[in-house]
Amino acid sequence: MKDVESRHRIDLEQRLAENERLQDQFYEAKRQLDISRTQLDSFKYEAEKGLNDQREKLKSEIQELMLENQTLHQKCDNKRDRELIKQLRRDLEEAKRRALEANQESNTLRRERDSLKVDKNDQFISFNRQIEDLKNKLREQESEVERCQFRSQSSLDENQKMHLKMEKKSNEVH
């Protein structure tokens, strides 16, 4: 009986140790998720800040270009100086080119931001899957511990019953 009891006790201790190890893994995964979320939030904030800076820069450049364009149009009204008109056209083309480059840079930043969002979602889904897997393992281990505890308790109860029967028979024999 003691052999069965010690075997169950050893098995129970092993299950408890495994359960504790899985709880540590769960805590570590949760901590890693929190760290990743914090890093992601920080990165998101920096990306949004950079994007807002680019937007402000683009707005100011557009305003400058608009003012420059108005100035150029005013200069074009004066038809006496042909060379000035040619220079103004070149300046206008340069301004259009810079506006196009700024627009392309803005689009590139938008695509990068969208890509980062997709990566963030993929990481989040992966972490959630890992957490669910760990939760499932923990549940299985808890179920196994409960089964072992039930078997152990049943064995103890049966042992006590046998002991009582032996005492009763020994009392009857005397």
Instruction: Render pLDDT for 109-137 as a digit per residue (tens, 0 to 9).
Output: 999 999 999 999 999 999 999 999 999 99
Which residue's structure tokens are 């990165």?
A: 43
pLDDT-derived band at 1 (thresholds 50, 70, 90) equals: low
Instruction: For the chain, give the percent of residues with pLDDT over 90.
Output: 64
User: What's the rounded mean pLDDT across residues 4-31?
Assistant: 89
Q: With bands split at pLDDT 50, 70 and 90, how would you rate the model's confidence at 23?
A: very high
Average pLDDT over the chain reads 89
Long-range contacts of 122-127 (CB under 8 A, 24+ apart): 123/36, 123/40, 127/29, 127/32, 127/33, 127/36
Domains of the chain (ranges plus CATH)? 2-173 (1.10.287)
- In Å, how far are 7, 52, 67, 115, 121 from 44, measured between CA atoms? 54, 12, 34, 12, 12
Sequence length of the chain is: 174
Per the CB < 8 A criterion, the answer to whether 70 and 92 are in contact is no
Query: Which residues touch 128 (CB under 8 Å, ≥6 apart)?
Result: none
* 152 closest CA partner among 25, 3, 12: 12
The yes-or-no verdict on residue 80 having pLDDT over 80 is: no
